[in-house]
């Protein structure tokens, strides 16, 4: 079964922040679950690796996890 973008983003956050995926809500802002600026930068690098995208200039840091997943889907569609 293929994982959704949302699922992959949540699990990436859970893995890097050492929190349970169940504790992460799609409507939380990313800075609520990745509060450190350095961790946030690393998270965006991890997203790039996870999805094989260049996203640094395309995804804002003041978004919800759901909005980030939507942005990633749009970038994937543009890439394909």
Give the pTM: 0.88
Q: What is the mean pLDDT of residues 1-14?
A: 90
Which structural domain range is residue 72 located in? Answer: 5-79
16 vs 62 pLDDT, higher one: 16
Would the pLDDT of 52 be above 90?
yes
* pLDDT tier, 14 (very low <50, low <70, confident <90, very high otherwise): very high
Question: Mean of the per-residue pLDDT values for the chain?
Answer: 90
Tokens 């922040």 identify what position? 17
CATH number of the domain bearing residue 72:
1.10.1200.10
Contact 30, 9 (CB under 8 A): no
- Give whole-number Cα distances, 39 to 15, 32, 49, 53, 70, in Å: 12, 12, 15, 19, 21
Q: Looking at the 3D structure of the chain, how many domains does it have?
A: 1
Residue 50 pLDDT exceeds 60: yes
């Amino acid at each position: 079964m293929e994982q959704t973008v949302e699922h992959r983003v949540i699990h990436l956050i859970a893995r890097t922040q050492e929190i349970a995926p169940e504790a992460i809500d799609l409507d939380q802002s990313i800075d609520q679950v990745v509060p450190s600026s350095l961790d946030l930068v690393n998270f965006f690098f991890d997203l790039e690796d996870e999805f094989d995208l260049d996203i640094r200039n395309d995804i804002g840091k003041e978004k919800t996890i759901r909005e980030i997943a939507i942005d990633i889907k749009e970038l994937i569609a543009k890439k394909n």
